[in-house]
Amino acid sequence: MTPDWLDATVHEAGEFLRFVLLWAGVAPATAPLRTVAAVATGSPVDFWLGPVGAAVAATALYWFRGGVSWRLVGRAWLVGVAVPVLSVTGLVFFPLGARSGLGGGVAALCWWLLSVGVGVALTSPTLWRAFRERVLLRPRS
């Protein structure tokens, strides 16, 4: 039988690994905050804003959920993929150009929030169940 301290150490190491993977999955979803801050202030923003935003988001998720499950890590990675894709799409179709300052910052923030909302909706089991029941109906035989 293994000692209790070894079990506790392995458990904590696994929890830390899940948190690090959660942080890495959330990081791309918070990266557009640098663009929002740069447009709103009109000056370049330091590199550290992205990782700090990801750490704050990952810590908030960890704290509110009471731990990190592998499902949450997977959903964070899917949101982390969806948000940059939607953000880049928004910047391509709606270039900020000369719209810097408060108006451009608000527009960029609203697009980022919309991107986060779509990413979270794509990973929501409740919405997938409703979609499957209403849209993916198969004819009964």
Listing DSSP states for the chain in one string gives: ---HHHHHHHHHHHHHHHHHHHHHHHHHHHTHHHHHHHHHHSS---TTHHHHHHHHHHHHHHHHHTS--HHHHHHHHHHHHHHHHHHHHHHHHS--TT--SHHHHHHHHHHHHHHHHHHHHHT-HHHHHHHHHHTS-----
pLDDT value of position 88: 84
Residue 119 has pLDDT above 70, yes or no: yes
pLDDT band at residue 66, thresholds of 50, 70 and 90? confident
Q: Which residue has the higher pLDDT, 97 or 122?
A: 122
pLDDT band at residue 8, thresholds of 50, 70 and 90? confident
Instruction: Give this prediction's pTM.
Output: 0.73
Residue 139 has pLDDT above 70, yes or no: no
